[in-house]
Each structure stands twice: as structure tokens, then as C-alpha cells.
């Protein structure tokens, strides 16, 4: 008997319930806190898992296969192992260009124009000195200031 891992045997390791996933996560965090594992290595492994998930979920063969497998159950909603599975319409999109509604078209153009103006104004405000700048707006002098800025420091990983 061989102990060689296959793609499906590796995936089987993740057939868990909510409590098991939570326990796994807490154990991993504990290993990081104890200094037993390299957090950068863990993060890289997580990024690789995310990439695998993204690649699978965007693959049309995969999506078709799981839909066909679910449809074999004969119900729109059913329990499969430790999960509720539902067959439903997702990502519904509407194309209003065919409606011929002049009111909608006018509002759409106005929204696009306003969005462009708003972006230009935001870009301008980002260039204002922290001391402020006096501007004439509707016959009134106002002092405008740049927007406040905040950020979070994190790690970015680019997979090769």
C-alpha cells in the first residue's frame, strides 16, 4: 500500500464541519504565537489556497460539473455531507439599453456625468495643501482642505 498523496486525498483533509475549521484555525494561530511555524510561510500557503480556489471557481468545466452533480439530486435544495446545497440563480444582470426609456437614458447620462465630476473633484481635493485653500464657490469664499487619509499596513504576496 502506498501513502502517496493525490489531489483528491489532499482535498479530503478539508472535509470538515464548522467547529473543526474553527479549531484548525485556532490551533494554527496558537502555533504562530508559540513561534513553532513561520507566519510568512503560513500566509504564502493561504495565498496559494486562495489562488487554487479562485482558479477552480472560475473554471467552466468545474462549474458545469458541480451543477450537473447537484442536479442529479433532483431537488433545488438538499443536504450533502456537512453542507446545505442550493441550486439557484445568481449574479442576475439587467441590460437597460434595449428599453427605449428616455427618462432612464437621461438619468443614466446624468449619473455618469456626475460620477466623472465627483472623481475629478476628489482628485483635486487630494492635491490641496494641509493648510487649506480659499476658493470662490457660488459667490462665497470658502476654505477647503484635503481629505483625511487612513491606511492599514499589511503584507502583499504576489504568487509566481
Q: What does the pLDDT look like over 58-85, one tens digit per residue?
A: 999 999 999 999 999 999 999 998 899 9
Report DSSP letters for the chain, one per residue: ------HHHHHHTT---HHHHHHHHHHHHHHHHTTSS-HHHHHHHHHHHHHHHHHHHT-HHHHHHHHHHHHTT-SSEEEETTEEEE----S----GGGS--HHHHHHHHHHHHHHHHHHHHHHHHHTS-TT-EEEEETTEEEEE-PPP------------
- Region 97-123: mean pLDDT is 96
For residue 119, what pLDDT band results from cuts at 50, 70 and 90? very high
Quick one: what percent of the chain has pLDDT higher than 90? 81
What pLDDT is stored for residue 2 in this prediction?
58
For residue 1, what pLDDT band results from cuts at 50, 70 and 90? low
Q: What does the pLDDT look like over 32-54, one tens digit per residue?
A: 999 999 999 999 999 999 999 99
Amino acid at each position: 500500500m502506498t501513502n502517496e498523496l493525490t489531489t483528491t486525498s489532499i482535498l479530503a483533509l478539508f472535509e470538515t464541519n464548522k467547529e473543526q475549521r474553527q479549531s484548525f484555525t485556532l490551533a494554527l494561530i496558537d502555533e504562530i504565537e508559540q513561534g513553532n511555524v513561520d507566519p510568512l510561510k503560513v500566509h504564502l500557503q493561504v495565498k496559494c489556497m486562495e489562488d487554487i480556489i479562485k482558479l477552480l471557481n472560475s473554471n467552466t468545466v468545474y462549474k458545469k460539473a458541480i451543477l450537473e452533480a447537484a442536479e442529479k439530486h433532483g431537488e433545488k435544495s438538499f443536504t450533502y455531507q456537512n453542507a446545505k446545497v442550493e441550486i439557484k440563480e445568481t449574479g442576475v444582470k439587467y441590460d437597460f439599453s434595449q428599453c427605449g426609456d428616455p427618462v432612464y437614458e437621461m438619468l443614466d447620462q446624468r449619473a455618469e456625468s456626475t460620477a466623472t465630476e465627483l472623481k475629478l473633484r476628489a482628485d483635486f481635493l487630494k492635491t490641496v495643501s494641509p493648510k487649506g485653500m480659499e476658493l470662490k464657490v457660488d459667490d462665497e469664499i470658502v476654505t477647503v482642505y484635503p481629505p483625511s487619509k487612513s491606511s492599514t499596513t499589511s503584507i502583499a504576496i504576489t504568487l509566481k
